[in-house]
Homo-oligomer: A and B are copies of this chain.
Amino acid sequence: MNEFELIHRLTRSLPTNPSVVVGAGDDCAVLDPGGPDRLLLFKTDAVVEGVHFSSDAAPEKIGHKALGRCLSDIAAMAGTPTAALVTIGLPRDFQAEKVEAIYAGLNALARRHQVAIVGGETTTNPERIFISIALLGWVPRGKGVLRSGAEAGDAIFVTGELGGSLAGKHLDFEPRLDEGRWLAQHFSLHAMLDVSDGLAGDLRHILAASRVGAELLATSIPISRSARLAAKASSTAKPALLAALTDGEDFELLFTVAGRDAVPLLDAWRKEFPKLPLTCIGRITAGEGITIRDKHSIRPLTAHGYDHFA
C-alpha cells in the first residue's frame, strides 16, 4: 500500500462537526469561526532528516523549508498565515547550536511574513531530526481557492520554473504568499494548489477534485535551469521536460482561470511581479487525465508525481 492509498483509507470516515468548511484533501483545512469576515486555515506539514533533507543540509535552510512548506499551502488557498507551532524530534545527542540554527532559519522566514511562533515542543526521535509545523492562517470569506473548481476551457497557469528542485531550491524556495493573495484579489481563480509532488501529480489532484481533464503544451512547460543542467550532465539523467513534469518540491502555484481571463491576467501579472515568470501551460478539458501535445503528437501523460512511499 502506498501513501495515497493509505490516506484514502484513513480519510474515508473522519469525525467532523459543523465548523468544518473543508476537511482532509485540500491544501489546508478550512474552518468557520463564526463572524462575518474570515475563515480559518489550518495546516500541518513535516520534514524528516534523510527523507526531506540530508544530514549535511545547512540547518538554517532546514528550518526555512519546514515552515516554508506550510506557508506554501496557505499561499495556495490565497490566505494569510498568522501563527505557527513547531514540534521537533531530536536524537538524544543533539547539538544545541544546530537546533538553534534550524530555529533561526525558521524565525527569519516567519518574520518576513509576520507569522508568530507561539510555541511547540521538543521531544525525542532517536535516529533523526523530525520537524512538524502546525500553521494557522486566515482567508476572507469567498476568497479562498480550492482544488475543486476547475472547468473545461480554463487556462492553466504556473508560477516560476519547474524541475531539478533537489539541486537547491527545495531548501530555499520562497512561498508565493503575496502572489496567491494578489491573484485571488484581482481574478476569479477556479482552482489552485502548490506544486509539491510534481506538476503532473499535483495537476491530477486538481483534475480529480474538479472531475475534468487537461491538455498541456510540451513547449510551454517552464523548465528550470537546474533541470536542464542535470539532464545534460548524464545520458542516464531524467530528460529536462520529464523533470519539470514530475520532480517534487517546486512550491510554485498551479491554478486555473476562465480562458477569457488568460491574457488580462498575464498582462497584469507582468506589471505586478516583473521578476517572477507566469506561464500558461495548457487548458482544462472535459475529459479525464492529462494529455501532452508537442509538434508531433498528442499523448497521454502516464508518469506519476513523486510518491513519498515509492
Contacts and interface: CB of A to CB of B under 8 A. Distances in A.
Contacts of A122: 3, 6-7, 10, 308
Given A35-B34, A122-B6, A46 B117 contact: no
A134 B85 CA distance: 8
Given A6-B99, A35-B33, A82-B31, A42 B136 contact: yes
A51 B115 contact: no
Interface string A86-125: 0101001010100110010001001100111111111111
Chain A contact residues, majority secondary structure: mixed
Interface string A1-27: 101001101110111110110111110
The 6 closest A-B pairs by CB, nearest first: A134-B134, A29-B118, A24-B119, A132-B132, A14-B117, A15-B110
A291 to B, nearest CB: 30
A124 B48 contact: yes
B31 A121 contact: no
A52 B22 CA distance: 32
Interface string A36-75: 0010101111101011100000000000000000000000
Q: This chain: how many copies in the complex?
A: 2
B48 A118 contact: no
A124 B308 CA distance: 7
A127 interface: yes
Given A6-B94, A20-B118, 8 more contacts: A15-B115, A15-B116, A17-B83, A23-B119, A29-B85, A42-B136, A44-B85, A44-B120
A44 to B, nearest CB: 4
Interface in A260-301: none
A15 B48 contact: no
Contacts of A15: 107, 110-111, 115-117
Interface centre among A22, A40, A128, A134, by most chain B C-beta atoms within 10 angstroms, is: A134
A168 interface: no
A50 to B, nearest CB: 7
A111 B127 CA distance: 34
A140 interface: no
A244 B143 CA distance: 53
A286 B25 CA distance: 53
Contact of A119 (B11, B38, B103, B120): B11
Contact of A308 (B24, B34, B115, B123): B123
A83 B117 CA distance: 20
Contact of A20 (B6, B38, B83): B83
B96 A14 contact: no
A124 to B, nearest CB: 5
B89 A46 contact: yes
